[in-house]
Chains A and B, each alone.
Chain A
């Protein structure tokens, strides 16, 4: 079949005044620009929340340290957690989804471009509102009126009686607003995937990144909304005299816990499933083989989506539920580990018999495999309710979830940045700086988060601004802080790479990695309309078919 080749040139910068450029970006409804806005927003807050972590680690370097007051420390851990989950994690993943999903399914934009823009600005405003809290109350040095109730905001600590200022209100309203933004984007992603696929992209032919964002968005619809509902109830309590969580009037503190974790647990799967998506796109390309077991990867992801809604009370094993409840949630928690763990095998199966290219994106993916394995295993320990009675509320848990989110999600994200940066900007990132970033971060990560398990095992609870000397926690805390500094330096190397490569990076061309999905068929960066003509597709790897017409995938699917 003959093909029409229509060269697409990148649009030249027209030398327009900067206000016009700014105006274009602020009013854009283009999924690629909104994707970039999400990514930049998330990167900014990654640095901010990372600084909050550094403040905490410096305070915890020595027992009885006086770097910050208890009030400031408590605001730091609350803001660090809240920012990382809601203003780094969700935006960065929505940023990649926004950018890549339409391109991968051969669409020209998302289903609802204006809703897309509206959702982004809602989320952005939520973040600004949350950080505005630093300017309230006792002012900047006392960390103002920033929330200090922990990112779970347990009742009744959040009631008017125990949180008389506005710190809780900032938390509640900022997250309510950004929550609505998240729901808007999730609706958009689902509608785009269902209704905007180009001819030939059957559901069974969609790239795994598309499938996984579909599952993740479905989860957002039913997981973020319980948090929104609980936050509305909290507002009713705090402003209208309601008693939802008012233990003095017969209300229940554990009801908040249930509602929060019905959101909170699926939320962490919402954060990690797109990381699985990045793995599933990058590992095959750098192993030069298709993903091993595509149907099971899809099925396992859908399974995780459903099962993850049934495990939430494993965050509540110590609150005094009956032995039957504890046993049930142990079962579901261990069960959800199965479809999750299987994926590790599928990625290993993809690498097996391949021709592995150890470029920076792949290095981060291999790091992910190693670290997600460990994180999953400590997750199994935490899933066993009886073992959990010792581990929960301690630094063991803190180490576990940082292992999944930093060792897992952040490593996959770094891989994604290095992999798709050429597509987004038209330039390659520096491979030398990339490897430096990887090794520095790897060393810092393990120094911090491997050792962090130990104080937890030796009885150190979490969320404490200082600790008693002589309990075996001192040296570990000191070394953990050193590792944090190393990670901070590595992150600066990464940011430098992003900036320098934008100006000095080698030109990327359409398809620098010799990959197989539709986004690599158009220019780097793509034109506003994405494709010269709407593609038509016959397999899961349309570009493989084009490059290997003698042995197309369509023969084997």
Chain B
């Protein structure tokens, strides 16, 4: 018996399913959230349990400025997308670059803070439980910011070569979903480390 084609009455005329890129990114975000949750749980579990060494209260300084940088980059990337959808490539590129700059500033701030913690206060990942959980959690987030910056830069390069237009909006939108996720994670990490953990 050769092939049967299955063409039946009663099938819908309009058949619109969610964009697979969006679904894929949503799944990635769910998986990454689970990883971050475990690191946050470990951080909270070990608050106050270090046997030695500097405590959060002694050494942490709340990074308000750099947090504002990172959170505003969510706004800039959102508007960049909106302009791209409307075909305003120039504005899109400008806002996209601004997003990268703001993210880069955040990374600079993290680096500066770590430098201070290591050289002025002697807090490293092996110093005590606070050091281990702090550098792991903030470091995991910083790693994700870096990965995001790399991807954003690739898109910037393509944009400068005039290859990013309205047709690419869906994919650019999926990437900004990732960037928003990175920012939401920072809100949580910030609360846990600089507010609750002190």
Contacts and interface: CB of A to CB of B under 8 A. Distances in A.
Asked if A and B form a direct contact in the complex, defined as CB atoms under 8 angstroms apart, the reply is yes
A194 B20 contact: yes
A111 to B, nearest CB: 4
Interface stretch (B38-46, B55-63, B178-186): B38-46
Contacts of B27: 186-187, 190-191, 221
A369 B121 CA distance: 63
A546 B9 CA distance: 11
Interface stretch (A310-318, A377-385, A537-545): A537-545
Interface stretch (B66-74, B97-105, B126-134, B157-165): B126-134
A388 interface: no
B7 A536 contact: yes
A6 interface: yes
B15 interface: yes
Interface in B18-71: 18-20, 23-24, 27-28, 30-32, 34-35, 37-39, 42, 45-46, 49-51
A7 B24 contact: no
Contacts of B17: 194-197
B7 A1 contact: yes
Contact of B19 (A195, A222, A237): A195
A3 interface: yes
- The listed residue with most A CB atoms (<10 A of its CB), out of B7, B23, B128, is B7
A533 interface: yes
Contacts of A327: none
B195 interface: no
B4 interface: yes
Contacts of A233: 39, 42, 136
Contact of A225 (B7, B38, B129): B38
A236 B6 contact: no
B31 A221 contact: yes
Contacts of B5: 3-6, 521, 532-533, 535
B34 A221 contact: yes
B170 interface: no
Interface stretch (A164-172, A243-251, A274-282, A448-456): A243-251
A252 interface: yes
**B: contact size bracket:** 35 or more
Contact of A222 (B15, B18, B24, B30): B30
A230 to B, nearest CB: 7
A187 B31 contact: yes
A250 B3 contact: no
Nearest to A192: B20
Given A187-B28, A241-B125, A225 B34 contact: yes
B28 to A, nearest CB: 6
Contacts of B28: 183, 187
- The listed residue with most A CB atoms (<10 A of its CB), out of B1, B15, B27, is B27
A225 B31 contact: yes
A261 to B, nearest CB: 12
A199 B17 CA distance: 10
B20 A195 contact: yes
B7 A3 contact: yes
B24 A191 contact: yes
Contact of B132 (A187, A194, A243, A262): A243
A552 B8 CA distance: 11
Contacts of B112: none
B7 A242 contact: no
A4 B5 CA distance: 7
A348 B36 CA distance: 43
Contacts of B136: 232-233, 236, 242, 244
A243 B10 contact: no
Contact of B126 (A221, A240, A262): A240
B98 to A, nearest CB: 30
Given A194-B18, A194-B20, A242-B136, A229 B6 contact: no
Contacts of A251: 46, 129
A286 interface: no
Interface string A189-231: 0111011110110000000000000000000011111101110
Contacts of B31: 183, 186-187, 221-222, 224-225
A499 interface: no
A7 B9 contact: no
B10 A554 contact: yes
Contacts of B20: 111-112, 191-192, 194-196
Contacts of A554: 8, 10
Given A194-B18, A240-B125, A200 B1 contact: no
A249 B129 contact: yes
A243 B128 contact: yes
A262 to B, nearest CB: 8
A8 interface: yes
Contacts of B50: 250
Given A194-B17, A199-B12, A249-B128, A535 B7 contact: yes
A1 B50 CA distance: 75
A259 interface: yes
A243 B129 CA distance: 6
A4 B27 CA distance: 38
Given A183-B31, A196-B20, A199-B11, A244 B2 contact: no
Contacts of A552: 8
Contact of A7 (B2, B10, B15): B2
A27 B170 CA distance: 28
Interface in B95-139: 124-126, 128-129, 132-133, 136
A422 to B, nearest CB: 13
Contacts of B38: 225-226, 229-230, 259, 262
B138 to A, nearest CB: 13
Contacts of B46: 250-251
Given A112-B20, A259-B38, A543-B4, A538 B9 contact: yes
A251 B32 CA distance: 25
Contacts of B35: 225-226, 228-229
Given A195-B19, A226-B34, A240-B126, A5 B4 contact: yes
B23 to A, nearest CB: 4
B11 A522 contact: no
B10 A111 contact: no
Given A191-B27, A226-B38, A250-B46, 4 more contacts: A1-B7, A8-B3, A240-B126, A242-B132
Which 8 pairs show the lowest CB-CB distances between chains A and B? A241-B126, A229-B38, A7-B2, A195-B20, A225-B34, A200-B11, A535-B6, A536-B11
8 contacts: A195-B23, A240-B125, A242-B136, A252-B45, A262-B38, A509-B1, A521-B4, A543-B4
